[in-house]
Structure 1
Amino acid sequence: MSLQQLTIFIGLVGLALCQTNTTTRPGSYCKGQARSECFMGSCPNGYECIGNQCCSEADVVQPGGDCTDYLHDCSNIDCNAIGMQDFARANCARTCNMCYSSASVSPQYACTDLLTDCANRTSSCQDIDFVDMMALYCPRTCSLCLWQAATTIPNCGNQLPDCSTRGNFCSATSISDYQKRVGCGNSCGLCSANTPAPVILSTNSNGFLFFGRK
């Protein structure tokens, strides 16, 4: 091997050692400014190849499970500010790259809306006739994650019709204790034998829950 060939070989080895071959899961994206294009699918240490762009590992957002943003303006949140981590982890985990954080979520955010139109139902959040139902179906929107009282529906039971197919509903940390007990209390083994049968809520012709005064 000639001196020139040896020099080229050593250079390529050195380049390979400083590169990181990365295999990111589909759906990953870079929330920051990329450093450069990837080199043969690789990037320098501390960077990952996302969409053929070298993204800082700190800016790589993985699409973890049910990880999501609950706010529409998470890009305006200072994810690393002192006193904001708990809020960011609970409400902007995807944007703030906290999908795989091992820290527990504060109980005041430990719940998930079960309906997609909760934002249109906020007038019912503090209505004494509907607050129990809102605590079950729209607790995050209504800030009812810590709700415990039950005034118009049973304290425990299978209020939800699909408890058997809700996967880890009973053990998920993103479901409030009230949702587990009232939503799928029987299936989760949280109800006593004398718990009254749950009230079945009405649905309209499209299958959506109908909230309204009689």
Structure 2
Amino acid sequence: MLLKLFCTFQLFLTFTNAQITHDLNCSTYSPSSGYIYTWRAVSCSNVLSDYLCEFFYPRGYPRQGGSAIRPTQCYTSSSSAPADGDAKTVAIAYCPKTCGYCCETPKFNCQNKNRKKAITPLSSNYPIPERLPCHTITKLQCESPNWRDILADDCASTCGLCPDNTDLCYDLNPDCANAPEVCTNPRMEDFVNKYCRKTCNRCYNQNTSTTAMCQSVTWRQILADDCPAVCGFCDLNGCIDAVVGCDNDISICNAIGMQEFVNKNCRRTCNRCSIPTPNPCSGR
């Protein structure tokens, strides 16, 4: 019993003393605490529901001033591998608050400006000096009605007040608007996603995040079942490789000690599709 309590205590210390190490995005260094998350790490909302984000990214949620290591799934597909760009792109696109990546979202990605003349905010007798130092702006100032309009112009990146990029979503083909029926034609899905984004309401479909999601270990099988057309899985009858890269070295299919991995993650490449699965493109 004493040994069990000791082990539990050691485990507690391991988690409570955990520090941000692998991924320092949206953090700052404190001499007393090491790297901690800034308020900009969690000052946004998840695109998916909080419930789903916490399901896909369990344990270690960032908070302002905290130093708990963010869920490893937020930035890598492996428990020990370095940062994975695709995994991180998916996390930023769909669960930025849960993963502490708010500062990496479009709302925080624009250029701060420097005013050429002093301006006095509402309800204040103190003018903002020329060339407002945005790095000194606090969360309270960013959220204050008295400062918001001014900071949206001067320090939009610092405050997460960058303008929406909806105007950047447009049709590459000018004829899309004249043939809206193309939007619901399954055979034209790839064309629509690339050339008719505005007409067909595909403005949410950013190529980088969608591609990353289709290749993500976390999402790949789910999308093969529920959204096969988006990822080009319709002709695979639901049998896919759960990870990308199995076909780079097919010797893995017969490697001793890798069969459990292969049966789970390289089903298509290694011909492990013997168990029939329903065609997800036939009735969803």
Tell me, yes or no, whether TM beats 0.5. no
Structure (1/2) with the larger helix percentage:
2
TM-score (norm 1): 0.25
Structure (1/2) with the larger strand percentage:
1
